[in-house]
Structure 1
Amino acid sequence: SRQPPQEEPRASSLPSIPNPFPELCSPSNSPILSSPALGQAPPREGTSHVVKVFGEDGACRSLEASAATTARQLCDTLVRRTRALHDHSWALVELHQHLALERCLEDHESVVEVQSSWAPGADSRFVFRKNFAKYELFKSNATLPHPGDPATPWGPCCAPEPSCCPHSQNFLNSGSCPEVQGFLQLREAGRKVWKRFHFSLRRSGLYYSTKGTSKDPRHLQYFADLTESNIYYVTQGKKLYGTPTEFGFCIKPHKVRSGVKGLKLLCSEDEQSRSCWMAAFRLFKYGMQLYRNYQQAQARLSQPPWIGPTPLRSVSDNALVAMDFSGCTGRVIENPNEVLTAALEEAQAWRVSWGAGESGGVPLSPPYHPFLSLCAQKKTTHRYSLPAACHSSPLSAAIHRTQPWFHGRISREDTQQLIGRQGLVDGVFLVRESQRNPKGFVLSLCHLQRIKHYLILPSEEEGRLYFTMDDGQTRFADLIQLVEFHQINRGILPCKLRHYCTCVAL
């Protein structure tokens, strides 16, 4: 006869044995049950997490952060520790090297939450660097949503405040979303073939038409939900994904942790189109929060900086004033019209004084121009506008090496990548040594999302060293003077020098 099964002991009758591995039995803390596919638990408040941040030189620094630490707070900490010049252009970039994807974290995003979404062992990291294009859409001459422009997803709208522009106001309003549309290249799922489709961004998500530009619901194919995804730039699109152009970007759903499967790859015709789409996605996903981040960044600039050693940097145009030295003592020129007139006269005097004499002989020595001098607001007698008539010295030939905008012997390709990473904004520049001319230098400048290179040649006449970009018509005593002049005057350049590319050591 079969014996009845023995009754299992009740839990209350078991001896009380402490669990040596509570994290393996707790569903909320289990690394297996907390995967994104099963619903990942957010990082617990109050606990400390280690966040590794890399610099552009590959150096790494480990920081402690709580679950509430935002990307802006971490950037401010790194700015203080590296003694960098504090501004809102510093950013934290999420980089997936194995996928060639990168994106700039928004200021309000939790760093620990983003880090916890990475797959274990994946080649992902945070990079601390400049991003001048982060808030360009809120500044004057920015491109804001306008669905009527056939060339790009939207047209230009010169309005720094969303309340001044109806298109941006509607876009930032959570209750309405104007349709943004345009052509993009799409790689079909499971294939390496790219096809051109007409895309439309709506409140319900991103769609593309299977029949030309038709908006008939029968021809619209649902593509992605941006609220549950992040948007990344593709840095090596042709090499890894076979993109038709180098202007690729990717929609990566939150549930995709590693691997190419599940990535939604798109490609634009040019950089302007890609920038427009990326800005539209950011506005669509974050709305007014994005503008509040910009307002807070602007407010921080008006606050007094942290107390510490002043970083070594060039004098900017914000620290300069126009002064009149025509009398016994100098005076500050406060009338803007008088400043403009004096600047024009000085520019003409600069060219004439360094040009050939009336007889066509040896160029004249630069006479002292008493009217205008751009001087630092501090008590100093240095003059930054006119080159001093001094003999050549090793200091004038090497003083530029102390400046943050000088990058030494960097190649043309690396220069374009560096400027591209830090933002294709008008006025972003750096100075480097020329690879073709051993004694020359190159000013690399971004204008209209294109990078142009200008050769700077040194020359010496009558024992005096000068640098020029226009065959000697305008001459500068050193490269610092050349840069500071073009920060205030455009000269032969298409725009003024606004932001210099810099790399800090962590």
Structure 2
Amino acid sequence: MDDIDAMFSDLLGEMDLLTQSLDQETVPPAPLPSTEKEANFSIGFTDLNASLHELEDNDLDALMADLVADLSATEEKLAAEIEGLKVPPPPPSEQQLPPPPKVLTTRPASSLTSPTSPASTSSNVSTPSPSTTSPLPPPQSKKPTKEEIEVQMKADKIKLALEKLKEAKVKKLVVKVLMNDGCSKTLMVDERQNVREVLDNMFEKTHCDCNVDWSLCETNPELQLERTFEDHENLVEPLLAWTRDSENKILFQERGEKHEVFKNPQNFYLWKKDKKTLKDIKDKDKELLIQENFCGTSIIVPDLEGVLYLKEDGKKSWKQRLFQLRASGIYYVPKGKTKSSRDLVCFIQFDNVNVYYGKDFKSKYKAPTDFCFVLKHPQIQKESQYIKYLCCDDAWSMNLWVTGIRIAKYGVSLYQNFKTAEKKAAVSAVWTNRSTPSSSNPSTPSPTIKGSRTRNLPFTECFT
């Protein structure tokens, strides 16, 4: 019996403590950051409102049409689902709905001319009284100018676009693209568009020639990296990985290294031969190399092997290792081991990483040379132990490795990108020739309008 009393007393004590703790004011946990506030709808601008002001009128109209179409389709679907769940209302209620509007629309006009019934006139006189109608004429007398109407219309569109963007089912970004001459173009890009489609949009806006070297590139000033987007990539996905305070930029430039493997495949698949032999190879042999390596049942990756400098984690020291490129990744030979496959150790695989060119690593990381490349996950935007830094002796070997990694990662998509770019360039050349004046010599092809080339990578003389 004493044991039961003791247990009951302990239970009452615990209940008292629990009651006291509930009575105390508890500090609510910090709310999770709102996804609506964190959502980034613009790239290269301080805020979305500023980016929408930069859009051209036709782009803003297209954006609004697209957003309204997306939302109306979603609303119609939801309305249909809700309507299917509702029980249809009885017919009498449906018949009673139309009469009120008719009375409201016809009464005011008749009440002013024929005062037939006192009840109706007394009710209608109070509604359209002179005191209520007299203030209406003054605002109509001040007609806004055409410029004011246009400004107001654009402001209304922007306000509506801000609301619709946050509700849109398809992710959309307003993107600032920098040109070689320092100016920029503002584009609306959604998650369904790939880089090729964005490039075609840039061709229309800039009226430049459509040669295969034109590319969209991303730069990361904090990590001092840059990369050329592949034409088949969806542009929105990597841009959404950028932080809101990021200083990353998108550039529209000509990059010869983008499709160099299809212009001179011998430089990558016969790289062990001397440079004179590679330079003298015939076009027929180049085409055979492309067919053998890209048009078979499987893609053949260049058989690259060489000593590269590897940056040690968390240090500015570099050590040499013998690396080999395989379709599945990069491997290295441990010290004291042979080059046989069983002794190779996997350094990194390409499934979840992209390859970037490093800029000025010699001063930042004390690299042996400035010919460096980096392998990292696209969502890593700041210094991290998961970034792999590699350094080559010269530009030749750097471009061999970067292109070889791209072939291993993307495979036949690179070749398809090149063929699509070739077709676009051919169509553009035809239209350019047709637009030449009739006085020009027809036997002489008209010069294509060229944009100024910006070579941020030491590639031009790599294979000469």
Please give the TM-score of this superposition, normalised by the length of structure 2: 0.56
Q: 1:143 aligns with which of 262, 267, 283?
A: 267
Provide Cα deviations, 1:464-486, integer angstroms capped at 9, x if missing partner: xxxxxxxxxxxxxxxxxxxxxxx
Code of the residue aligned with 1:92 in structure 2: it is L
Contact conserved, 1:132 with 1:422, CA < 8 A, in 2?
no
Q: Which residue number corresponds to residue 223 of structure 2? A: 99
**How far off is 1:174 after superposition?**
4.1
Determine whether 1:50 maps to 2:50: no
| CA distance, structure 1, for counterparts of residue 351 and residue 330 of structure 2 | 11
Aligned length: 306
Determine whether 1:254 maps to 2:378: yes
Q: Which residue number corresponds to residue 336 of structure 1? A: none
Task: Give the 3-state SS of the residue equivalent to 2:332 in structure 1.
Answer: strand
More helix by proportion, 1 or 2?
Answer: 2
Q: Assess, with a 3 A threshold, how the Cα gap between structure 1 residues 160 and 105 changes in structure 2: closer, same or farther.
A: farther
Provide Cα deviations, 1:107-144, integer angstroms capped at 9, x if missing partner: 11111111012233122111111112321211246423
Determine whether 1:283 maps to 2:407: yes
Q: Which residue number corresponds to residue 421 of structure 1? A: 456
Contact conserved, 1:129 with 1:422, CA < 8 A, in 2?
no
Q: Which residue number corresponds to residue 459 of structure 1? A: none
Q: Assess, with a 3 A threshold, how the Cα gap between structure 1 residues 296 and 423 changes in structure 2: closer, same or farther.
A: farther
Determine whether 1:237 maps to 2:375: no
| CA distance, structure 1, for counterparts of residue 438 and residue 262 of structure 2 | 33
Larger mean CA deviation between 232-241 and 56-65 belongs to: 56-65
Code of the residue aligned with 1:379 in structure 2: it is S
Question: Which residues of 2 match residues 53-64 of structure 1 at below 5 A?
Answer: 53-64=177-188
Q: Which residue number corresponds to residue 361 of structure 1? A: none
Please give the TM-score of this superposition, normalised by the length of structure 1: 0.51
**How far off is 1:67 after superposition?**
0.3
Code of the residue aligned with 1:420 in structure 2: it is R
| CA distance, structure 2, for counterparts of residue 198 and residue 105 of structure 1 | 29
| CA distance, structure 2, for counterparts of residue 301 and residue 381 of structure 1 | 22
Code of the residue aligned with 2:380 in structure 1: it is V
Task: Give the 3-state SS of the residue equivalent to 2:456 in structure 1.
Answer: helix
Question: Which residues of 2 match residues 100-179 of structure 1 at below 5 A?
Answer: 100-140=224-264, 142-146=266-270, 149=272, 164-165=288-289, 169=293, 174=298, 179=303
Q: Which residue number corresponds to residue 379 of structure 1? A: 439
| CA distance, structure 1, for counterparts of residue 197 and residue 404 of structure 2 | 25
Identity between Structure 1 and Structure 2 (%): 26
Question: Which residues of 2 match residues 214-233 of structure 1 at below 5 A?
Answer: 214-216=338-340, 219-233=343-357
**How far off is 1:145 after superposition?**
2.8
Determine whether 1:195 maps to 2:319: yes
In our comparison, the structure showing a higher alpha carbon Rg is: 2
Q: Assess, with a 3 A threshold, how the Cα gap between structure 1 residues 232 and 246 changes in structure 2: closer, same or farther.
A: same
Q: Assess, with a 3 A threshold, how the Cα gap between structure 1 residues 255 and 225 changes in structure 2: closer, same or farther.
A: farther
Code of the residue aligned with 1:50 in structure 2: it is V
Contact conserved, 1:237 with 1:248, CA < 8 A, in 2?
yes
The Cα RMSD (Å) is: 4.2
Q: Which residue number corresponds to residue 191 of structure 2? A: 67
Q: Assess, with a 3 A threshold, how the Cα gap between structure 1 residues 79 and 236 changes in structure 2: closer, same or farther.
A: same
| CA distance, structure 1, for counterparts of residue 430 and residue 188 of structure 2 | 21
Provide Cα deviations, 1:250-282, integer angstroms capped at 9, x if missing partner: 111235232253221111111111111111011
Contact conserved, 2:265 with 2:289, CA < 8 A, in 1?
no
Q: Assess, with a 3 A threshold, how the Cα gap between structure 1 residues 255 and 174 changes in structure 2: closer, same or farther.
A: farther
**How far off is 1:87 after superposition?**
2.2
Provide Cα deviations, 1:144-193, integer angstroms capped at 9, x if missing partner: 3358x3889xx787667987228952797547656432221111222222
| CA distance, structure 1, for counterparts of residue 179 and residue 337 of structure 2 | 44
**How far off is 1:81 after superposition?**
1.2
Q: Which residue number corresponds to residue 269 of structure 1? A: 393
Code of the residue aligned with 2:459 in structure 1: it is L
Task: Give the 3-state SS of the residue equivalent to 1:94 in structure 2.
Answer: strand
**How far off is 1:287 after superposition?**
0.3
Contact conserved, 1:206 with 1:222, CA < 8 A, in 2?
yes
Higher RCO by CA contacts (8 Å cutoff, separation 6 or greater): 2
More strand by proportion, 1 or 2?
Answer: 1
| CA distance, structure 1, for counterparts of residue 32 and residue 363 of structure 2 | 46
For structure 1, the 5+ residue unaligned runs are: 7-20, 33-43, 311-317, 320-375, 385-402, 408-417, 426-446, 451-506
| CA distance, structure 2, for counterparts of residue 184 and residue 151 of structure 1 | 21
**How far off is 1:302 after superposition?**
2.8
Provide Cα deviations, 1:306-328, integer angstroms capped at 9, x if missing partner: 98xx7xxxxxxx99xxxxxxxxx
| CA distance, structure 1, for counterparts of residue 379 and residue 352 of structure 2 | 9
| CA distance, structure 1, for counterparts of residue 443 and residue 286 of structure 2 | 41
